[in-house]
Structure 1
Amino acid sequence: MPSASQPGPTPGSSTGPQPGAAPLAQPSAALPASPPEPPVPPARAQGQTAPGAGSGAVQPFVYLGRQPILDRNGALNAYELLFRGGAQNRADVDDDALATAQVMTRTIGQLGVPAVLGRHYGYVNISRELLFDDIVHLLPPGRFVLEVLEHVRFDAAVLERLAQLRRAGYRIAFDDVSEITENLLRALPYADIVKVDLMQTERAALPELVASLAAHGKTLIAEKVETGEDFELASSLGFELFQGYFFARPQVLRAPRVRASRLALVRLLALVANDVGTAELERELRSHPGVVVQLLRLVNSSAYSPGRPISSLREAVLAAGTRQIARWAQLLLYASGRDLPWGSDPLVQLAGTRSHFMELAARSLNPQDPEFADAAFMTGIFSLVHVLVGSTPENTLDRLGLSREIVEAVDGHRGELGTLLRIATAAERGDHDGAQRLAREAGGMFTALTPPLLGELNLWAGAWFTAYAEG
C-alpha cells in the first residue's frame, strides 16, 4: 500500500509531452504505445442535458472528459475524470454528486476502465454526500484516487470517513488548495496528495504554501498550469506532478448510451435488501438486459474479475457479490436521470425477447441441462450488445469475458448456441420456413423445433418481455 507521502508506483507510465513543448492536441497520444489499448472514439457534435438542467430529448451518446496529470519529465501519471454533458468541452455542473455518479457509471459501465484509463490512475471528484455513500467502493482503490472537492468542510465525521477509506486502500487528494487554513490543517494528516490551484494562489504566497505542504510529507500537484512560465515556476518550487492547459485540454470521450430500467434497479435493490438468494437475483436480472450488460462490465473490471470466462448469469452474480450488485444498482439509479423508459427502446426489446426465446428453446431441446439454457439466454442478450455499444462483436465480447461457446455463437454463429441463435433470428423476422429449415439442417435435437413449437416460443417470449417492460 502506498505511503501517505507518495502516490505509490503507477500501474504504468508512458512518455507524454515534454515540458515547454506545444500543448497536446489529443491527450490520448500520451498513452503507452505498447500494449495497445482499446480505442475510444472522440466525441463529435452532439448535445445532451447536463445534470440538473432542463429536460430535453435523450441523446444517443454519453460523454466523459479526461485530463492528463504528468510528472516533471512529461510522463503520463494519471487522468482526472470530468463530467461532460455533451460533446462541448465544458463541465456545466450544478450537482456535484450527480455529476460524479455519472462519471462513475460511464467509466465503469459504459466506456470501461481499461479504455478510459489504460494502465494509469483516475482521479474522481468526491463531494461530501458521495464521501459517505457506499457506492464509492465501486471504485477499485488500486485504480482510482478520491479527490475531495474544495468546499467540503473537514469536521470530525469527514475526517473519520477519510481514515476509513485510507484503511481500505484508497488514496485521498485535496482539490483546489490556494492557502493554508484551519480547515486544511485539520485534514492534512488524512490526505496523501494536495492539488494547488496556481490561478487562485498569489504568486508571492506560493513558496511558503508549497514549503508548508511539503513539510507535511504530501505529494504536490500543480493544477491549472496554463503557460510555460507557470510550469517553470512550479517545477522550481518542488511540485512533483502537473495538470493544465499548457500540457493538454481535457479530451472528450463518448460511448453509445446503455439504458438501464429504473424499475429494474429498484427491484434489484429491494431483493438485495431482503437478503434473497442468488437464484432470485438471477431471475430478476434475466428480465433486464440493459442491467446485465453493465453488470458484466462491472464484473470484468480489474477488481472483481473472476479470472475465467463467464457462461451464466449465476456466475456473474457470484463473481460480483450481492453487495457490489446493490452498489451498482444504486449508482445507476442515481445517475440515470431522465432516460426514456426501458420498454420503449426497440433494441432492448429485441434483446430481451430473443434471449428469452433462446432460453425457452434450449429448455425444450434439453430439459435436463439447465446450464445450456443459461448459456442460451446469455447468447441472446449479447448477440446484440455490439449494436448497443456501437462496436464490433469481436471487440465488445473481448471486454465482457464471456465463455468461448457464447463468443463463438455470437461472433460466427458456431456451435449449438450459434445454431440456436440463427434459428431465433429467423423466427423473430417471421421467417418460420427459414427457422424450420435451419433446424432440419442442424439435425439432432434441433429437429424437435417444429413450426408449432417455434410459434409458441415466439409468443411466450414476446408476452414475457411485455409483462416486464410494463412493470
Structure 2
Amino acid sequence: MSSNNPQTPSDTHLAYLARQPILNTQLQIVAFELLYRSGTQNIGPGPSVQNATATVMLHALGVIGLSSIASGRPVYINFDDANLLADLPELLPPDKVVLEILETAKPTTQLLERCKEWLGIGYRLALDDFIYRPEWEPFLKIVQIVKLDVRALGLDTFAAHVKMMKSHGLSVLAEKVESQEEYETCLKLGCDLFQGYFFARPEIISETKLPVVTTTLLEALRRIRQDSDTRELEHTISRDAAVLYRILRYAASIGFGAGKAPQTLTAAIMRLGRRNLQRWLTLELYASAHDINIAAGSLLDLANYRAELMSILASEVGLHHEDIDEAGAVGCLSLLDALFKRPMDKVIDGLALPSMITDALIHETGPLGQILSLTRALEQEESHTIARLCVQIGISETSLPELQAKALENQAKFSENY
C-alpha cells in the first residue's frame, strides 16, 4: 500500500476549560475551581448546567488530564441536582474532588440522601452561592464547605451568614472577592478560603481534542452490556485512537498510574472495571464529543489501517494473542504525535502504558517497534528497509501484498460498521 506522508491537521478541535485558584488565609493556593468554557473568551456556560458539567469532566479527565490541571491540589466542580442524583460523580476520584452543589438545586429529601451517599464514599461537599433558607438546614449537617458571594449578599447579610456557618463548624469560602478591602473584611469576619478576581481571573486551558466516532462508543457500550469477552471489547476500543487515548488519559487521571504499570493493554483498560468504563463511554456520548474534523479524520483512518496491519503482521510472525492485541494498539496510537502536533513521548506521558508499547511508539524498538517500522516502510514503499526488516522480523516479503490487502479489507469493514 502506498500513502502520502500524512499532513498535520491545521483545524483540529480544541477542548477548553478554565481554572480559578482558591486560596487560604496565608494566600496559598489550596485548590482550583474548574469552569466550563467553549473558547478563548472567559465566558461561562451556554449549554445546560448538566451538559456543562459533563464537558468539564470529560475535558479535565480525558483530554487535558487532571494532574496537569490541578498540580496535586483538589478541584471543585459544579453539580446540579440532576447530576448529583445520577452516577456522574463516581467517575471522579473522591480524594481529588469537591462536589459543589449549585444554588439552583432543590433541597429535597431525595437529594439529601444522595449527598449522604457521596459523603459516605469519601467525597467532600460544598454549597455554592449559598443563601440561607430553613429547608437547607439538613444539608448544613453534611457539607464541609459553604461558598458565600460577598457582593451578592451585601456586607451585613454576608457577616451574618459567616457567623451562622461557623456555628455549624463549616469552612467558609468567600467568593467574588474583587478588592483588597473586601479580602481584609472577609478575613476579619473569619472566612477560611477565598476566590475572586482580586487574586486571579479564571485561567483558560486548552488541549487538542480528537474526533470520536459515536458508533464506536455505542458498540463498546453494547459489548459491555452483553458482557462480551474482554478481547472483543478491547478490539472495539483499540480501533479508535481518540477513544483509546481518552480512556487511558482518564485512567491516569484517577490515579491509575500509581504502583506497578500494567503489563498488557487489556490489563490497562480492564483495571478501570466495566462499570467505570461504561460510565466513561456514556459520558463521552453525553458531552456530545463527536467533533467531525476532515483533516484529523484522514489521519485516524490511517491509524486504523495501521492497527489492522500490525495485528496481522504480529499474528503472521507467531506472537502471542496478547502481543497481537498490543500490536494493534501501537498502530492505533502511532499517529498521535501528528494529531497533537507534539513529540510522541510528550503525548503519551502519564498514560501508564506497558513498556512494550511505549518502546515501540517512542523508539520503534522491540518486536512491536520493528513491526511499526515495517508498517511505516510499506507506506513509503522503502524497498531496502522493507527487505531488511522482513529478515529481522522473520516474515516472507512475498506475503506482504496479501497481508496488506487483508488489512485494507478489515479496515473497510470497520468503517462500514463504525
| CA distance in 2 between partners of 1:355 and 1:311 (Å) | 19
Q: Deviation of residue 424 (structure 1)?
A: 0.3
Native 8 Å contact 1:342 1:469 kept in 2: no
Q: Structure 1 residue aligned with 2:228, among 273, 276, 288?
A: 276
Deviates more, 1:318-327 or 1:308-317: 308-317
Q: Which residue is equivalent to 1:400?
A: 351
Q: Which residue is equivalent to 2:185?
A: 233
1:282 is paired with a residue whose SS is helix
Q: Structure 2 residue aligned with 1:378, among 317, 329, 338?
A: 329
Native 8 Å contact 2:128 2:147 kept in 1: yes
Q: Structure 2 residue aligned with 1:292, among 218, 225, 244?
A: 244
1:459 is paired with a residue whose SS is helix
Q: Deviation of residue 85 (structure 1)?
A: 0.2
Compared CA separation, residues 308 and 380, structure 1 to 2 (3 A): farther
Native 8 Å contact 2:92 2:254 kept in 1: no
Q: Deviation of residue 305 (structure 1)?
A: 3.7
- CA RMSD for the aligned pairs? 2.1
Aligned length: 408
Q: Which residue is equivalent to 1:105?
A: 58
TM-score (norm 1): 0.82
Native 8 Å contact 1:260 1:342 kept in 2: no
Q: Deviation of residue 230 (structure 1)?
A: 0.8
Q: Percent identity?
A: 30
| CA distance in 1 between partners of 2:369 and 2:296 (Å) | 28
**Post-superposition CA distance 1:160-183 (Å, at most 9, x none):** 000000000000111011x32123
**Post-superposition CA distance 1:341-372 (Å, at most 9, x none):** 799711211111112211110100115x2232
User: Does 1 or 2 have the higher relative contact order (CA < 8 Å, sep 6+)?
Assistant: 2
| CA distance in 2 between partners of 1:360 and 1:307 (Å) | 32
| CA distance in 1 between partners of 2:22 and 2:105 (Å) | 23
**Post-superposition CA distance 1:180-223 (Å, at most 9, x none):** 21232232112111000112102122221111111111111000
Q: Which residue is equivalent to 2:316?
A: 364
Deviates more, 1:245-254 or 1:396-405: 396-405
Matches within 5 A, 1:191-340: 191-305=143-257, 307-340=259-292
Compared CA separation, residues 464 and 397, structure 1 to 2 (3 A): same
Unaligned runs of 5+ in 2: 1-10
Q: Deviation of residue 326 (structure 1)?
A: 0.2
Kindly report structure 1 stretches of 4+ aligned residues shifted beyond 4 Å: 341-344
Compared CA separation, residues 374 and 404, structure 1 to 2 (3 A): same
TM-score (norm 2): 0.92
| Paired AA for residue 166 in structure 1 | L
1:244 is paired with a residue whose SS is coil
| Alignment partner of 1:436 is 2:383 | no
| Paired AA for residue 401 in structure 2 | G
| Paired AA for residue 346 in structure 2 | N
| Paired AA for residue 450 in structure 1 | E
| Paired AA for residue 86 in structure 2 | D
Native 8 Å contact 2:172 2:191 kept in 1: yes
Compared CA separation, residues 394 and 303, structure 1 to 2 (3 A): closer
Compared CA separation, residues 132 and 436, structure 1 to 2 (3 A): same
Unaligned runs of 5+ in 1: 1-57
Native 8 Å contact 2:317 2:394 kept in 1: no
| Paired AA for residue 268 in structure 1 | A
Native 8 Å contact 1:351 1:381 kept in 2: yes
